[in-house]
Amino acid sequence: MQPQIILLKEGTEASQGRSQIISNINACQAIVDCVRTTLGPRGMDKLMVEAQGKATISNDGATIMKLLDVVHPAAKTLVDIAKSQDAEVGDGTTSVVILAGEFLKQMKPFVEEGVHSQIIIRGVRKATQLAVQFINEIAVKPKKDDEVELRQLLEKCAATAMGSKLINQQKDFFSRMVVDAVMMLDELLPLNMIGIKKVPGGALEDTLLVAGVAFKKTFSYAGFEMQPKQYTSPKIALLNIELELKAERDNAEIRLENVEEYQKVVDAEWTILYDKLEKLHLSGAKVVLSKLPIGDVATQYFADRDMFCAGRVPEEDLKRTMKACGGSILTTVADLEDSVLGTCEHFEEKQIGGDRFNIFTGCPQAKTCTIIIRGGAEQFMEETERSLHDAIMIVRRAKKNDAVVAGGGAIEMELSKHLRDISRTIAGKEQMLISAIARALEVIPRQLCDNAGFDSTNILNKLRQKHAQGNRWMGVDILNEDVADNMEKCVWEPSLVKINALSAASEATCLILSVDETIKNPKSGEGPAPQGRPGARRPF
């Protein structure tokens, strides 16, 4: 008798083999079913409540995936691809999860029949490569040098991205605003230079785009109301300096002999503060913004000299002001020259809803802008912000890579037809796998129909017929419950979105298919529960 060799710690769970792959595929299906109904213009929203009771209403795939507390290790890969799609392209997060789920679903019969995982993975990779190649071949590239045409392209891409969101009724209004916002940025199109502020109240159409910087009025002291609230072409000083008297009991110890010495210390503090304030006044700056607090003495001092000040400005807003108005953020007032001061054409403090905003417009180097969202409920504005984020990302991508394809399931149907045709020319098992991937791609138009309540079988049959006749841009027409040429209907998406979604979905599929064993390690100290005598009292 050979002694048994145990390599794994007691209590470790290990499951392996074909049944493990199938169990992983089933877990991913459950995740896909959560987001399946949110796809497309007629998609439903999800209401997610966190442990603290905070409710979020959204139909953005990435947001839903982040808020789902996924425990299953294999299903977490779907959460990761949704996050990566959101970070890389911004839109198509639901599509990427649904595609990955459908690829796995189509591969499940092959796994059950005993086809080796590596053969399936090779087939999936080959199909993806062919699909990406084909998208690059057929994508339409509008002329970039024509300003008007480029703008129309960007607006249509933004409108398509918003078509499936909560704000799809106002998509024309918002798509113009998003394109304006992105056009104001510099070459690198940094996302953090578009500030988004939310103000409760008002209608969605009251949403403003400020060609410059706007931020909420900061905490203010007495004397603030006496300061002017409007300037034309003011000089702006941006500081990282505290302009208030500090009680030095925490970090200083001074031994004093008599009252005069104490008075000198107090006078020195006042002198230092007044010295700073005077230098700011003499520099000609009319607006003083600081990241650190500006106290009541300084506020009154500025008010007496017709200057405006705001302390505790968030760092992000201060950086955006610097980007728009020029100048630099100073940590000393020793050398205030015109070169380090910013300027703008117009500054005013304005009431928007229940809040007051400081707004800088007509900035000489306006490489930044602010969108102030209005709306009823808090959740509604948050969802509007998420929708605008998706649209902004799409416009950035479309501006950098200007190739577009038709949305609404058109490109998926064309890819499906293309892969089917190719699969017939391949001998061996890959023929079956590529044709299974071609079948899986039809899930997007099918889901669009299901979510809108259409007869998906009927519409898919029509689409297959049209694509076989060579109408490559035919897709689902949500408005008329029919099929239509989505390129003409201006349902456009950057080809990059589709390429990214396909690549991410196939990577996730290959990853899940390549795992044939899961080993769960027990947490240290968590041995099996102690077994007591029946009826004996256990110590608590």
Residue 290's DSSP bridge partners are 239
Q: Where are the alpha helices (DSSP H) in 139-235?
A: 147-162, 171-183
List all residues 6 or more positions away from 135 whose beta carbon is below 8 Å from its beta carbon.
405, 411, 415, 495, 498, 499, 502
Q: Is 518 designated active site?
A: no
HSE-CB of 87 using CA atoms within 13 angstroms: 8
Name the helix (H) or strand (E) containing 415.
helix 410-423
Query: Vertex 58, ends 53 and 60: CA angle to 5°?
Result: 135
List all residues 6 or more positions away from 479 whose beta carbon is below 8 Å from its beta carbon.
none
Distance in angstroms (rounded) separating the CA atoms of residues 492 and 494: 7
Q: What sign has the CA pseudo-torsion 382, 387, 390, 394?
A: negative
Q: Which of 91, 317, 390, 402 is catalytic?
A: 390
For residue 12, give Cα distances in angstroms to 486, 514, 517, 528.
54, 21, 13, 11
For residue 25, the one-letter residue type is I
Angle between helix axes 147-162 and 171-183 (nearest 10 degrees) is: 130
Distance in angstroms (rounded) separating the CA atoms of residues 338 and 369: 24
Q: Is 56 designated active site?
A: no
Distance in angstroms (rounded) separating the CA atoms of residues 53 and 387: 23
Token pair for 270:
């006042």
Residue 477's DSSP bridge partners are 482
Determine contact, residues 35/65, Cβ cutoff 8 Å.
yes
Q: Where are the alpha helices (DSSP H) in 216-295?
A: 259-282
Q: Is 255 helix (H, G, I), strand (E, B) or coil?
A: coil
Distance in angstroms (rounded) separating the CA atoms of residues 238 and 180: 27
Q: Which of 38, 60, 218, 477 is catalytic?
A: 60
Query: Whose CA is closest to 158, among 175, 174, 173?
Result: 175
Determine contact, residues 445/460, Cβ cutoff 8 Å.
yes
Token pair for 82:
């949704």
Distance between start and end Cα atoms, the chain = 43
Q: Is 160 designated active site?
A: no
Owner of token pair 């499951």: 15
Determine contact, residues 170/345, Cβ cutoff 8 Å.
no
Q: Which of 56, 77, 93, 299 is catalytic?
A: 93
For residue 348, the one-letter residue type is E
Q: Is 60 designated active site?
A: yes
Report long-range pairs for 119-125 (Cβ below 8 Å, ≥24 apart): 119/429, 119/430, 119/433, 120/433, 120/513, 121/510, 121/513, 121/514, 122/430, 123/429, 123/430, 123/432, 123/433, 123/434, 123/436, 123/437, 124/433, 124/437, 124/506, 124/509, 124/510, 124/513, 125/506, 125/510
Q: Which of 63, 94, 218, 299 is catalytic?
A: 94
Backbone φ and ψ for 476, nearest 5 degrees, come out as -75, 135
Catalytic residues: 60, 93-94, 390
